[in-house]
Structure 1
Amino acid sequence: MQLVDATELLLAALLFLSASGGAALTAMGSRLWEPVKLSARWSGHDRDQRARS
């Protein structure tokens, strides 16, 4: 006996993703799409300068 069909799993996954996206948009609003500033540690520019010296 199969408890869950593949179609039901796909539907559940799609609903979860859409609910997560909706929650993110509700919490962050338009700030969700603003760029974030990375520190030199994560941006890679610091590594390039160390390699040159």
Structure 2
Amino acid sequence: MNENLLSEKKKWVASLLVLFLGMMGIHRFYLGRNASGAVMLVVFVLGVLIPIVGCA
């Protein structure tokens, strides 16, 4: 998606998603960038699960 085609409202919502859920890549899904959003989500989940499972 071209950056110039994003409406100001969409940029505002994406900015809020980055602020609160940025590490999970939720903003990427909102902007239609599903592949990079999925990669960010998987990396986040593995980064959280591996330390928890490793300590058990």
**Normalising by the residue count of structure 1, what TM-score does the alignment of the two structures yield?**
0.40
Identify the structure with bigger relative contact order (alpha carbons < 8 Å, sequence gap 6+). Answer: 2
**Normalising by the residue count of structure 2, what TM-score does the alignment of the two structures yield?**
0.38
Determine which structure has more spread, i.e. the larger CA radius of gyration: 1
